Each structure stands twice: as C-alpha cells, then as structure tokens.
Copies of this chain bind each other. A is one copy, B any other.
Amino acid sequence: MTSARPFNFAPGPATLPEPVLRQVAAEMLDWHGSGMSVMEMSHRGKEFGAILEAAERDLRELLAVPANFRILFMQGGGLGENAIVPLNLSRGGKVDVVVTGSWSRKSAAEARRYADVQIAADIGKGYAIPRDWALRDDAAYVHLCTNETIDGVEFHDLPQLTSGVPLVIDVSSHLLSRTIDWSRVGLAFGGAQKNIGPAGMTLVFVREDLLGHALDICPSAFNYETVAANHSMYNTPPTFAIYVAGLVFQWVKALEYGGKHGLAAVEQRNIDKAALLYGALDASGLYENRVDPSCRSRMNVPFLLRDERLNESFLTQAKAAGLLALKGHKSVGGMRASIYNAMPLEGVQALVGFLKDFEARHG
C-alpha cells in the first residue's frame, strides 16, 4: 500500500502525510492505552488535555509564535472566520481590505456586515498584487489573504504598515508551509484542511492587545477573549481534528530535507517543488500559468491548457497515471495542482513527467 497510493493534488481537504494516517489508524481503538479512541475522549479529561497542550506547544515552536500571541483552536472554517474576525476586531469602525483574489473578496463581503469596509487595492482580473494601497490610518485593521487558493497568488513578504494599524492575514492555504514575520502581524487565521488536518477547525493566532473588543453581537463561542481565557476549551473543541493536527506538527518537526529540518525543511522542499512545477509550465507550449512570478503561490498552481478541448482527456489520463484532483476551480477553469506540505517531491516529479508526456502526445 505504501508506494501504491496515488498523488492527490486536491486544494483542500487535501493530502496528509501517510505516516500520520497510519498512526491515526493504529490508535483508533485505543489511544496510548487509554482504552478509548481520541474521538471518544471527554475534552475535559487529562488524556485530551495532554494532546491539546502538546499540539499548541509544537505549533508555537514550529512557527516561532511570540509569547504575546495566543493560539486558539476554533471550530469551523475560513468562511465563518471571515465574519468572526470583524466581530472581534472591527469595533464597528473601519476595515481596509486588499483584494488579491476570490478569498479576500469574500472576506470583504463578510466584514461589511459589521464595519465600514474599504477596498484598499484590487487585483481585479490582473495577475500581480497591486503596489499602491489606499489605507486609512484610523482603520481597526487591514485584511490580506496571503495565499489565494483559487487564484494561485501568494505574498512572499508581508507589508510593514507604518500606520501602526494591525495587519490581519488569512493564511488558510499556506499556514505551516513557511515562516511568518510576526512583527508585522496582529492576527493570523487559517482553516486546517490544507496543511494541518481535517476540515472543521480553524487556527487563530491573536496578539493579546487585540483581545477584549468584541462587538456585543458576537456569540460567546466565537469571542476570542473568551476562547483564549479558557485555552480553547470554553466549549467542546474539535478534538479529533486537534489530535490529527498534533501528529502533523510532529511530522513537520521531524522532517529532514536539503540539510535542513523542521519548518525550514518543509519550506525548502516547498520552494523546490514550486520551482520544478513552474519551470515545467513556463518551458511548455501547451500549459500556461499567468500569475506574475513575483507572487506565484508555492501551494496552489493553477494552469490552463492553451487548447481547452484537451481538458477532459488531460484529467482522465492524469487520474489513470495516479495523479488525482487536478481540475481547476470552476470560477477560473483549467487545472490546478495544490502541492501542500504533505505532497512529496516525487509527486511533483510525477506530475511534471506526466505534463511533458501528455504534451508530447497532444501538444
């Protein structure tokens, strides 16, 4: 079974490290001699308490999260969090959003329910992050989506906001794929179902001085101050997702690549995987990625076939070659290869081999 699993390029939920899946299966009926599956454990028991504590500690270490940031394991996903952030941080005031694709556009729409939202910049139908942003010095925060899953646009450097306005970053689809410069961030959040674990959990990293300003209409389950004060246990957290995430964190910590280890190894491997794939696309006469090289995503690589009539046979033959879920998002069409942390270099090599082979036969 080990080497027989196909390579899964799904955008999320997405491929997970095989050793993690094996451990989850092995511990399913009896976690560490407790006589229970993690799914069956009371979240208030000492067993689950140890799981949550280890997961938070490992995540903090991996991402070098400063002591003045709280890490919250929340129920739900990115779309809900797009409302929960302004419920907690907007104070009903001004929010500036930099639109770089589909997700930041959705974030702006949700924030409008609670705040005076201004689009500070908009990528529109372009393929490069706009340079000039119309920011307001009295905004409650500035929102960026630092990796647009659908559009394949990634910020490789975070802006340094001179105004002192907190930066909120939606890191859903590249969380744990690279380091984060926390000195430039007020809050970061991400759904789990890309690099972390099962869908239904969101991780929130919030600077302590931003807590305590939720609107009265914010449900208590979604109030960051309440969740933080109760160490993500105000209500029942998504226990099984936290457990899987904890195993993924351990897997990242143990990863070795290119003479590096841990998150640095993951990041270097992601850089190499992306370079290999973009290089193959750019060298081809059949495939095309239009995103400006300055902001191409290392995680999500959308590409078009110049002859769209080949789309169906491309997908059929890819699947037969053990390359799954390459169909692009319906809003942009074409193909998309999501190459998250758990996608090995061999998966990208296999994809590149297939791209060349298919082009030779059909290009």
Contact = CB atoms under 8 A, between A and B. Distances in A.
A266 interface: no
Contact of A5 (B14, B26, B29): B29
Given A29-B1, A198-B239, A79 B42 contact: no
A324 interface: yes
Interface string A309-326: 000000000000010110
A113 B223 CA distance: 13
Interface centre among A78, A79, A201, A237 (most CB of B within 10 A): A79
Nearest to A325: B42
A78 B75 CA distance: 11
Given A5-B30, A13-B42, A79-B234, 19 more contacts: A1-B30, A6-B35, A11-B42, A13-B40, A13-B236, A14-B40, A14-B42, A16-B40, A21-B37, A25-B28, A76-B76, A76-B221, A82-B221, A83-B221, A113-B217, A113-B218, A113-B219, A200-B236, A200-B238
B199 A324 contact: no
- Chain A interface SS verdict (over half): loop
B5 A35 contact: yes
Contacts of A84: 219
A262 B169 CA distance: 48
Contact of A39 (B13, B80, B114, B222): B13
Copies of this chain per assembly:
2
A255 B129 CA distance: 57
B238 A199 contact: yes
A129 to B, nearest CB: 25
A47 to B, nearest CB: 10
5 contacts: A76-B76, A78-B235, A198-B241, A199-B238, A200-B236
Contacts of A15: 36, 40
Interface in A3-17: 4-6, 8, 10-16
Contacts of A325: 42, 45
Interface residues on A, range: 35 or more
A165 to B, nearest CB: 23
A236 B77 contact: yes
B76 A240 contact: no
A234 B240 CA distance: 23
A13 B237 CA distance: 10
A260 interface: no
A26 to B, nearest CB: 8
A220 interface: yes
A199 B240 contact: yes
Contacts of A222: 80, 83
A193 interface: yes
A35 B8 contact: yes
**7 smallest A-B Cβ distances: which pairs?**
A83-B219, A200-B238, A25-B28, A80-B221, A79-B235, A6-B35, A10-B42
A29 B5 CA distance: 8
A341 to B, nearest CB: 13
A324 B34 CA distance: 9
Contacts of A80: 75-76, 219, 221-222, 235
Given A79-B221, A219-B83, A220-B83, A244 B10 contact: no
